[in-house]
Amino acid sequence: MTTYGAVLDALGDPTRRSVLELVAERPQPVGELAARLPVSRPAVSQHLRVLKDAGLVTDTAVGTQRVYRLDARGAAALRAYLDRFWDDSLAAYARAVEQDLAPEERP
């Protein structure tokens, strides 16, 4: 789906962030990721599925193992959200502050 909501939901879990940070170091198979984390291999598999659905990682089959790597789509979706939402909002606030008058206080 790769919407910003899915990306933020995926990044909302600490273990999932750890998985993603390991993948960011270098592409790795599932077993190697699980060996570096305090959770079981199936747990890592489930986290990888969420990260994949959010567009944060991609997987490719290499022999019997699946190598996971970072995907830029998720990062792009999140960045677009930040750029539109925050910049616009903060700009609106800046305008309100310049007028020294909050919007809801206007007659």
Partner DNA sequence: ACCGTTCGTCAGTCGTAACTTACCGTTCGT
Partner DNA sequence: ACGAACGGTAAGTTACGACTGACGAACGGT
The binder of a second copy chosen from 36, 41, 69, 95 (CB under 8 A): 69
Measured CA to CA in angstroms, residue 90 lies from 30, 81, 84 at distances of 41, 14, 10
Q: Which residues share a beta bridge with 29?
A: 67
Residue 31 binds what, of DNA, a second copy, none (CB under 5 to 8 Å, by partner type)?
A: DNA
Separation of alpha carbons 12 and 78, rounded Å: 13
Q: Tokens 């910049």, residue?
A: 87
Q: Which residues share a beta bridge with 60?
A: 67
Residue 21 binds what, of a second copy, DNA, none (CB under 5 to 8 Å, by partner type)?
A: a second copy
The binder of DNA chosen from 5, 24, 45, 80 (CB under 7 A): 45
Does residue 31 belong to the site contacting a second copy (CB under 8 A)? no
61: helix, coil or strand?
A: strand
- Residues near a second copy, by CB under 8 A: 5, 8-9, 11-14, 17, 21, 24-28, 67, 69-70, 72, 75, 78-79, 82, 85-86, 89-90, 92-93, 96, 102-104
